[in-house]
Structure formats: structure tokens, C-alpha cells
A and B are shown apart, each in its own frame.
Chain A
């Protein structure tokens, strides 16, 4: 799933750098930490992007590029979990504007795709659908983290803001398609191997069918994806028109 939405009505910045009466911005130390974190994450996803390009050039085809960026992908995608935890535990008070619930959804779904599907079902790693969502995520995350970095430093180039709130229009459906196709491709292998499934009878009187679970996950995209997508479109209208008014009034 592409760029996370900006949940607040303060549209221009990622992080709180508003006139003091509105909201307390982060302290200097917190800002420093956050800048470092976002720079590291931007760099990480750039590494993945570069890795993809190099592998493509070396192999001459775009198939099976997953293997060349497997490790950094897992590392940096799972790193987003830390970010989400900090948001939820409110160690980032009022700093990140994105709605906690929405980003939680996104992070959970991404981590799920990375570990519970692509890593766990080795047979799908060579699928083209994996490339589809990896590319979508990579571009999205590079823009998102650089957006946060620049916002924290109070020098947000309009281009980055524009990119964050516009490219998702293509990247989001692209990512979702890649994710769904990958899960779909994994289904027969899950059924065959009984991966992560437990059946009766057993002494804990519990059963779980991972195959059915995956199908339910796929179905859940139907109500959730449009909501997130329209939320982002709505944010886009707010953010980009707000900036124009700002420019006009100057």
C-alpha cells in the first residue's frame, strides 16, 4: 500500500513546526533523533532501489529481482514497525500527522506481506508480482521519509510534497495489485504444505486454516483499499490547495 495519509488539518508540514500557539513542536533533541531516523530510512530504501536497478542491469531481465534486495527489504520494512510502535505508545507526541490507525494498517499489511507471505512461501519469491509491490513500496517510502526529513528541517521543497500526495495515485493501486497477486500465487503452496495451519483433534481444541485466512485477507482489501485511497485523495486536495492559497496570500 502506498504513502500513508496525513490525518491532521495542518497540511503543509509533516512534523509540527507550527506557530507556537497551535501545537507544541518536538524539542530540539527529539527533532535531531527524528531527522536521523528519517534520513536512515530514506537511505535504506534508496539502497533497495539501487539494488533493484543494479540487479536488473546485471541480469538483463526484471524477473526474480527479489533475491538481490531481500535482506534490506526485510530490515527496513520491519523497521517501520518500530516507528508504528512509537506512534502508538505516544513517544512521538503530536509530531506525526498521519492517523495512527491508518498507518498501523499499512505497516501491519506490509510486514505481513514481507514475512508471512513472501518469506514464508519460498515458491512465490520468483513471481513478478513481488517486484510490483517492492517497486511501489520503494518509491513511496523514499518520498515519504524524505518528506518527513525536510519537514523536520523546515525546508520542504514543493516537489517532494507534490510527489508524496500525487504519485500515490499510481503507486497505491500498483502496490495493492502486487500484494494481492502474490497472496493469490501463494495459495496453492499453502494448501499443499499446510503452512501455519493446525487441525482438530488436538489437546488445545483449536484449529486454524492459513489458506482460508489468506483468502479472508484478500477479501478484506475490498472494503479497506477504497477507503484509504479516497482518504489520500481527500488529503491531496486539502494539502495542495492549501499551499496555493498560502502562495497567493504571500
Chain B
């Protein structure tokens, strides 16, 4: 192998020798316990002598991030409809294909569907992923989680015995406005992050606020996309006044806080001049 070869080429060569292990599945390291080497790394820049020993680990069958997201988000979209349209097997034959007398139920369906359609569009047109793939096993776990919760909360919202919010129209209108603002915010952040990685670059850069007011949250928070996402789900909880939605919101919040803290730590490690005012997910607090 040439000294100026990239890891990517080594992976391709390895794949030719062992067709079973395609490049995305290979984890190549300098040290058995070390981190996996990136594709762009050049052999001679690595701390090796005249001969290099590389360790290979099989990461298992992989699946592309885009594919994963598409599957994860299409599920809840259609599952919700099964409940909204009251398929016979859901609420019993007597209630089949009936519709709810409450306008908020229709509104909830529109909002829920809008949210997932937006996510699907973003996955296809906006997101730029740093890792191409993830292990196949994850998709079963993730789908169970997203699809399961979608079914659970759709069941209660579209139930014939559903009770609309206690504070009526005021509560619903407030929730809708909050929902729209958070969705717009979330979208703005995704676009801003995607712009940081134009021209297929895979390096990390510090995101900054732009002219779009929604991105001004970057002054206070490292991961405003998560902040807005939690806001969306809080608004949905208020709109439907439904405990399962609240529980889902809580779990999302916990998960996203973990991700935000990770991201925040990574930023702090990589950039010496990282803005010190920023918190991971909630301004000044968390």
C-alpha cells in the first residue's frame, strides 16, 4: 500500500479481499481498544513506522442513516392514520370509520402528520450526515420506540371517549401557535446546520446565529434544534391534554438532553473559542 493512501482506499482493498465486509462495516483501528479511523486519514500522517499494523473489527450489517430515518418517520405517519380513521380492529366494529365530534382531534392529526412529513422532507433534502451508516440492529429498537409510541398516543387522542382540553379554545390556540413557532424554529436550525456543511464537507464547524430570528437561540444554546423539538412536543401535549403524549415528551426530552450534552462536550473539546454563554439545550439551565 502506498504511504499516502487514505483509509478509504484501504477499506476498498479489504472489501475486495473479503467481499462480505463492505467498507461501511469495517472498523479499522491502530489499536484494538482505540477509536476507529476515519476515511480521510492518510497513512503516512498516522503515528506508524515503516510498517503499520491495523486492526479490523466487524461492525455488523449496516444501514444508511437516510434509510433509517425514512423508515422511522413514515411509520408513525401512517400508524396515526389507522387510529384517526378508526380502522375496525382498533376501537371495535361499532366505532369503525366514525369520526370524532371534537375539532381538536382533527387539528391534532394535522399537526402530528405535518411534523412527520416535515421530518421526512428534511431527511431527504436538508440533513447532511457525518456518519454514513448505523448498525442494522438499531433500526429494530428505534422503530419499536417511535412506532410504538405513535400508536399509543394516537390510540388515546382518537378514542371515542376522548376528553378535549380543560381550558378549551384558549388552550388549543395557544398550543397551535407554540407548535408552529417551534416547527419553524426547528426547521430554521436544520437549514442553518446544513449550510455549515455545504459542498460535502464532513468537518465540524461552530454554528452561529444568522439573520433568521429563530436561529438567535444559538446565542444561548448549542443544540437549538433539540430545544425547538421539545417545544413542539410540549405544545402537542398541551393541545391534546393527554398523559401518553406527555410521557413521550418527557422521554424525548431526556434523550435529547443526553444528545445535546454530548454534542456540547464535543464542541467544547474541539473548539477553544467556543462561546461560553451557551448551554446544551435549555438557555442558562441545562
Q: Does B48 contact A (CB under 8 A)?
A: no
Q: Does B243 contact A (CB under 8 A)?
A: yes
> Would you give the shortest CB distance from B54 to chain A, in whole angstroms?
27
Q: Does A202 contact B (CB under 8 A)?
A: yes
Stretch at the interface among A92-100, A171-179, A203-211: A203-211
Task: Indicate with 1 or 0, residue by residue over B146-157, a CB within 8 angstroms of chain A CB atoms.
Answer: 000000000011
Chain A contacts of B240 at CB under 8 A? 205
The answer to whether A203 touches B156, judged by C-beta atoms less than 8 angstroms apart, is no
The answer to whether A202 touches B244, judged by C-beta atoms less than 8 angstroms apart, is no
The answer to whether A204 touches B159, judged by C-beta atoms less than 8 angstroms apart, is no
Q: Does B166 contact A (CB under 8 A)?
A: yes
The answer to whether A205 touches B157, judged by C-beta atoms less than 8 angstroms apart, is yes
Residues 186-226 (chain A) with a chain B CB within 8 angstroms: 200-207
Residue of B nearest to A198 (CB): B243
Q: How big is the B interface, by class? A: 10 to 19
Residue of B nearest to A200 (CB): B161
CA distance A206 to B157 in the complex (A): 9
Q: Does B191 contact A (CB under 8 A)?
A: no
The answer to whether A205 touches B166, judged by C-beta atoms less than 8 angstroms apart, is no
Chain A contacts of B241 at CB under 8 A? 203-205
Task: Indicate with 1 or 0, residue by residue over B184-202, a CB within 8 angstroms of chain A CB atoms.
Answer: 0000000000000000000
Chain B contacts of A204 at CB under 8 A? 241-243
The answer to whether A201 touches B243, judged by C-beta atoms less than 8 angstroms apart, is no
Q: Does B163 contact A (CB under 8 A)?
A: yes
CA distance A49 to B159 in the complex (A): 51
Number of A-B residue pairs at CB separation under 8 A: 29
> Would you give the shortest CB distance from B91 to chain A, in whole angstroms?
11
The answer to whether B242 touches A206, judged by C-beta atoms less than 8 angstroms apart, is yes
> Would you give the shortest CB distance from A189 to chain B, in whole angstroms?
26
Chain B contacts of A206 at CB under 8 A? 156, 242-244
Q: Does B162 contact A (CB under 8 A)?
A: yes
> Would you give the shortest CB distance from B108 to chain A, in whole angstroms?
11
CA distance A205 to B159 in the complex (A): 9
Chain B contacts of A202 at CB under 8 A? 163
> Would you give the shortest CB distance from A6 to chain B, in whole angstroms?
23
Residue picked from A200, A204, A205, A207, most chain B C-beta under 10 Å:
A205
CA distance A204 to B241 in the complex (A): 6
Chain B contacts of A200 at CB under 8 A? 156, 159, 161-162
> Would you give the shortest CB distance from B137 to chain A, in whole angstroms?
17
> Would you give the shortest CB distance from A88 to chain B, in whole angstroms?
15
The answer to whether B162 touches A201, judged by C-beta atoms less than 8 angstroms apart, is yes
Residue of B nearest to A202 (CB): B163
Residue of B nearest to A203 (CB): B163
> Would you give the shortest CB distance from B270 to chain A, in whole angstroms?
27
> Would you give the shortest CB distance from B110 to chain A, in whole angstroms?
18
CA distance A203 to B242 in the complex (A): 8
> Would you give the shortest CB distance from B159 to chain A, in whole angstroms?
6
Residue of B nearest to A207 (CB): B156
CA distance A200 to B244 in the complex (A): 13
Chain B contacts of A201 at CB under 8 A? 161-163
CA distance A205 to B243 in the complex (A): 6
A selection of 10 A-B contacts at a CB cut-off of 8 Å is A200-B156, A200-B161, A202-B163, A203-B163, A203-B166, A204-B242, A204-B243, A205-B157, A205-B163, A205-B242
Given contacts A200-B159, A203-B166, A205-B244, 6 further A-B contacts (CB under 8 A): A203-B163, A204-B242, A205-B159, A205-B243, A206-B242, A207-B156
